[in-house]
Structure 1
Amino acid sequence: MLPAAARLRRSEDFRVVLRRGSRAGRRRLVVHALTTDPSGAVDVPSAARAGFVVSKAVGNSVVRHRVSRRLRHLVSAKLGTLPPGTSLVVRALPPSSTASSAELGSDLDAALRRLGLLSSRRPAGDVPRPTRPADATPDHGSAV
């Protein structure tokens, strides 16, 4: 479960993000995002917040809750990397009912990249492989 401060809870909050925010759609989900301008805000910008829309078109109650839990877990890992004051609404589409967590994660990452909220560089644990083996380094004339 996301902490209360990280959740969109009011209908008005969802409505504002859906109407004024940017949208990026993928096969299994649509992400709506609204980033508030911290320079125009009177208060200190709040942490990033997220809300989820999983309609009956996705499936029965069990399927909808499974999709919602998966999306909540994926988004909770990304909230800390988003700019303060960002509000997200993640809307699940019917193909999300048969998608794995990895597929939902790749769609979420692609949508966030398209919205400019996620950098396109490699994840921190992903180290590029060397193009040649380490033992094949050339000897530059060192006399032994």
Structure 2
Amino acid sequence: MLPEPHRLRRRADFASTVRRGKRAARQDVVVHALADAKAESLVGDPGPRFGLVVSKAVGPAVIRHRVARRLRHICASLVDEVSEGSYVVIRALPGSATATSAELDRQLRSGLRKLDLLSVSRSG
């Protein structure tokens, strides 16, 4: 599960990330990222924050929730690798419904590398 301090919740945060940030499109996901985003909330952890957009185009509710769970799990594993202070919005495309977790992980990491957001692990 993705810890609370690492989740994007506000509509304004999603909107600013998608509008002002950079974008990397992959086969099944589109990664929007805003590096060095200044969090207006009082959350103490300066780590990255992730948000998901899984529309009805992906499939019925059961499929959408499955895709969202997979993406949340991948994001939780990336918390220590993504640059601090970054906002990342992941938009699932219809192909993500049939993609494996390994494929989604590879595509997400590829998109983050293209945007120069993957850094050395902070935990070690």
* Cα distance change of structure 1 residues 3 and 71 upon mapping to structure 2, 3 Å threshold: same
Q: Which residue of 1 aligns with 2:65?
A: 65
Post-superposition offset of 1:37: 6.8
Q: Give % identity.
A: 51
Matched, 1:4 2:20: no
Post-superposition offset of 1:45: 7.7
The aligned amino acid for 1:10 is R
SS at match of 1:47: coil
The aligned amino acid for 1:48 is P
Q: Which runs of 4+ in 1 moved over 6 A?
A: none
Post-superposition offset of 1:7: 0.4
Post-superposition offset of 1:118: 2.3
| Number of positions where the alignment pairs a residue of Structure 1 with one of Structure 2 | 117
What's the Cα RMSD here?
Answer: 2.2
Decide whether the 8 Å contact of 2:6 with 2:47 is kept in 1.
yes
Q: Which residue of 2 aligns with 1:77?
A: 77
Question: Which has the higher Rg, Structure 1 or Structure 2?
Answer: 1
Matched, 1:23 2:19: no
Q: Which residue of 2 aligns with 1:34?
A: 34
Deviates more, 1:79-88 or 1:49-58: 79-88
* Cα distance change of structure 1 residues 10 and 107 upon mapping to structure 2, 3 Å threshold: same
Q: Which residue of 2 aligns with 1:142?
A: none
Decide whether the 8 Å contact of 1:45 with 1:84 is kept in 2.
no
When normalised by structure 2's length, the TM-score is 0.87
